[in-house]
Amino acid sequence: MSDWESEKSPEWGDKPVASGRSGASDGGRVSPESSRDWKLIEKLVLSMQAEQRKSRRWGIFFKFLTFAYLFGLLLLFKLPVSDTIEGATGQHTAVVQVDGPIAADELASADNIVGSLRTAFEAENSAAVVLRINSPGGSPVQSGYIYDEIRRLREEYPDKKVYAVISDIGASGAYYIASAADEIYANRASLVGSIGVVAGGFGFTDVMDKIGVERRLYTAGENKAFLDPFSPERQEEVSFWKDVLENTHQQFIDAVKTGRGERLAEDERLFSGLVWSGEQAVELGLVDGLGSTSWVARQLVGEEELVDYSHRKSPLQNLVDQLGVAFGEGFAARILDSRLELR
């Protein structure tokens, strides 16, 4: 029976056998050329199978890696990054941080800080509240909101004292906020004070003349282009703006006097915008003594455990800031904006 007539199909990997006619000439042996071709085909198929298995393994690995990455991000958003409020079951000292510029679009905004203060006061186990301040100041409006809320919360919760602790700097709007506390403490080298108001901008008229740029401004209302940086400065506008600054400065002064009372020294420089070290601030009555947040909690409050009630940035926002987007936005705003600030 010839191979073509055999009922048995050749299995995978079986070497082909010679036909009856070839067998008659070479005794049933396969020619060397056919054997080599078959081995090459077999190696090629096996290598393709190995590559497919390897590709599947790498695919599974990368899918698992992607899943682990997404799961890690989920945990990063969900898990707390510091002491949790929920974990504070015993008596403790509540901490609310005022960190960085005080502005509506910053972490130290009135919304964030006021919300944190309310939570800290409402907590049954918080013995006192410490404002941990490290800020150069900012918006008088945002500072005023926080100042008023601290005064209100002190009246609503008379048994809970509010302490302000200044670390590196507590100036301008930050000191405005601190003056609402029962007592203020700082480090001997802290920068304290700067009770004043500043507003600034740029004038581009000379540059425009040199490069041949013409300013075209259309308004309805004679003062709508008030202090336009691309138009020549008008003395009546400058005088009016100085009156606004003086009025805002007086609000600042009145708030500090209300908060500090007779503890302030009789020194005409207090409200001139100057800044002092913590040691000098004690002598001037701007602060009550030298001490840290831990010292206040341990020595004055009597509850050494600190629980942070501060509003925090999301991990995504931190990532954006690290990539430099926040710096770019801040730089652009600084160059193009002119806004009133306490300094």
Strand blocks (E) in the chain: 92-99, 126-135, 162-171, 183-186, 191-193, 197-198, 275-277, 289-290, 306-308, 341-342
Task: For residue range 70-123, list pLDDT tens digits in order.
Answer: 776 666 655 444 444 555 568 999 999 999 999 999 999 999 999 999 999 999
Q: What are phi and psi of 91, to 5 degrees?
A: -65, 140
The fraction of the chain above a pLDDT of 70, given in percent, is 76
Mean pLDDT of 255-261: 95
Specify whether the backbone of 110 is left (phi greater than 0), alpha (psi in -120 to 50) or beta: alpha
Per the CB < 8 A criterion, the answer to whether 173 and 146 are in contact is no
Considering all CA atoms of the chain, what is the largest pairwise distance in Å, rounded to the nearest integer?
128
- Map residue 296 onto helix, strand or coil: helix
**Sign of the C-alpha dihedral computed for residues 27, 33, 34 and 40 taken in this order:** positive
The pLDDT mean for the chain works out to 81
- Contact between 143 and 173 under an 8 Å Cβ cutoff? The reply is yes
Q: Radius of gyration of the chain from Cα atoms?
A: 38
- Residue 91 burial class via C-beta count within 10 angstroms: exposed 0-12, middle 13-18, buried 19 and up: middle
Q: In this predicted model, what pLDDT tens digit does every residue of 1-16 receive, in sequence order?
A: 444 444 444 444 444 4
Contacts of 33 (CB under 8 A, 6+ apart): none
Between 179 and 25, name the one with better pLDDT: 179
What phi and psi, each to the nearest 5 degrees, are found at residue 217? -130, 130
Stretch among 71-75, 223-227, 230-234, 255-259 having the lowest mean pLDDT: 71-75
Question: Residue range 164-192: average pLDDT?
Answer: 97
What is the per-residue pLDDT for 68?
76
Least Cα distance to 181 among 249, 140, 121 occurs for: 121
56: phi then psi, degrees, rounded to nearest 5: -65, -40
Query: pLDDT by residue (tens digit) across 126-150?
Result: 999 999 999 999 999 999 999 999 9
Q: What mean pLDDT is predicted for residues 240-253?
A: 93
Mean pLDDT in residue range 29-53? 76
End-to-end CA distance of the chain: 108
pLDDT of 125 over the 80 cut? yes
Is this prediction's pTM over 0.75? no
Q: Model confidence over 21-36: pLDDT tens digits?
A: 444 445 555 566 677 7
* CB 124 within 8 Å of CB 330: no
Q: Which of 43-52, 84-93, 174-183 has the highest mean pLDDT?
A: 174-183
The DSSP line for 257-285 is HHHHGGGS-S-TTTTTT-EEEHHHHHHHT
Average pLDDT over residues 52-70: 77
